[in-house]
Every structure is written in structure tokens, then in C-alpha cells.
Chains A and B, each alone.
Chain A
Amino acid sequence: GDSVTQMEGPVTLSEEAFLTINCTYTATGYPSLFWYVQYPGEGLQLLLKATKADDKGSNKGFEATYRKETTSFHLEKGSVQVSDSAVYFCALTRLRTGNQFYFGTGTSLTVIP
């Protein structure tokens, strides 16, 4: 079945450091891939998405590229800020009616000034 595996945390970085959070998936065909972010005390919200191979999703300085050949969707940001401290979830779904979502375990990021 479909599944997502993401990098274990927690991750602690200094402000302006480069961020990579790894995510790989197991699925047949071409699922859609997502990164969700959960800020402290809030629900998850969509950060970015990619719906087909080689697509690059981007938002708020974050980027992730859908790599079919390596079944990966790694999250990157060139220069993190304290306000990026949150838990990041990789997710997979199929774009069809009543679709199910498969989430990774989440990676906690703390950015220190």
C-alpha cells in the first residue's frame, strides 16, 4: 500500500542555515505529494504540493521537487528563520473522490537565533 517515510527529528538549526528534511514514498503510479506544517498550538496547514513527476512545489521560501526516479520529495529552504520553527509533515494522496491521505511521522524543526 501507499506510505510515506520522513526523516526523524528533532532538527535544530541556527538562523539563516540551510534546511533539508528528507521524505520518500512508496506507491504505485503517480500519487500527489504534499508538505504540511504545524506551528505550535495550531492545526496542520498546507505548505506546498506537487501533483506530477518533476513538479516543484514552493511557498514561503520552501521548495520540494517530485522525483519519481528516487521516489522522493525532500523539503528545502536556503535560509531558515526563527518563525520557521514548527513540525513538518510529508504526505501523499491520490486525486480522486474520497481520497485517503498518508502522512509521515513529522519532523520537528527548531531554529535558534
Chain B
Amino acid sequence: DSGVTQTPKHLITATGQRVTLRCSPRSGDLSVYWYQQSLDQGLQFLIQYYNGEERAKGNILERFSAQQFPDLHSELNLSSLELGDSALYFCASSVENTGELFFGEGSRLTVL
């Protein structure tokens, strides 16, 4: 158990819909990272938050948004969903200055 909790574990929805994925980092970790993993794209970095502030953006679509709340949990919002958004979405948190990422088990999104 990494200590990072993601919900839901599985989600099936239709094209055009909107979903929210939730992540609770390990206690004390200030940084939260979101990654998308699909079969053909590998592990893609989406966005990073540090203590409530956006720190870095990767290949995140405009239809996607995220935020980190004062209690440090984070949510990834995916809207106007397309078939190609079907993937495993991982959240990770990190211990400051050690370089170690702790990953959650992921949220598997299927868009039909």
C-alpha cells in the first residue's frame, strides 16, 4: 500500500460526458502529480500541484482540468469525453527532496 488513494477504481461512461477523479496523497506530501497511461502512449505527465498551486503542466488537454484543495487532496476533471480518453489515470505524491514518487492504484476510465 503506497498510501495514495484514488477513487473511483473503475469508471465507465459515454462520449460527451464529464467525470471527476479524486486523489488523496500520502500524509505530509505536498506535491501531487497526475499521469495518463494508455496502451499506445505510455505514461504521459498531465499536471503537477504543489501545496495548492499549479507547478507544472504536461500534455494536458484543454478539456481536462485539475486542482488541489487546502487539505491537499486533488481532483482531475475530464469533460467532453472522447473514446480516446479511455485510459488508466494515475495520481502520485512525492516526499520533498527525495525524488521518490508514490503512486496510487489508478482509476481506469472507459469511454463508450
Contacts and interface: CB of A to CB of B under 8 A. Distances in A.
Q: Does A associate with B in a complex? A: yes
Interface of A: 32, 34, 36, 42-46, 49, 51, 89, 91, 93, 95-103, 105-106
A96 B97 CA distance: 5
Given A101-B45, A106-B43, A46 B101 contact: yes
Contacts, number: 61
Q: Which of B4, B90, B100 is the most central at the interface, judged by chain A CB atoms within 10 Å of its CB?
A: B100
Interface residues of B, number: 25
A46 B99 CA distance: 10
Q: Which of B50, B101, B105 is the most central at the interface, judged by chain A CB atoms within 10 Å of its CB?
A: B101
A20 B89 CA distance: 29
B101 A44 contact: yes
A69 B103 CA distance: 31
Given A45-B2, A99-B94, A100-B56, A51 B101 contact: no
Q: Is the interface of A mostly helix, strand, loop or mixed?
A: strand
Interface of B: 2, 4, 31, 33, 42-43, 45, 48, 50, 55-56, 90, 92, 94, 96-106
A106 B40 CA distance: 11
A96 B100 CA distance: 12
B50 A98 contact: yes
24 contacts: A34-B100, A43-B90, A43-B92, A43-B103, A43-B105, A44-B101, A44-B103, A45-B2, A46-B101, A49-B99, A51-B99, A95-B97, A97-B97, A98-B50, A98-B55, A99-B31, A99-B97, A100-B48, A100-B56, A101-B45, A101-B94, A101-B101, A103-B43, A105-B43
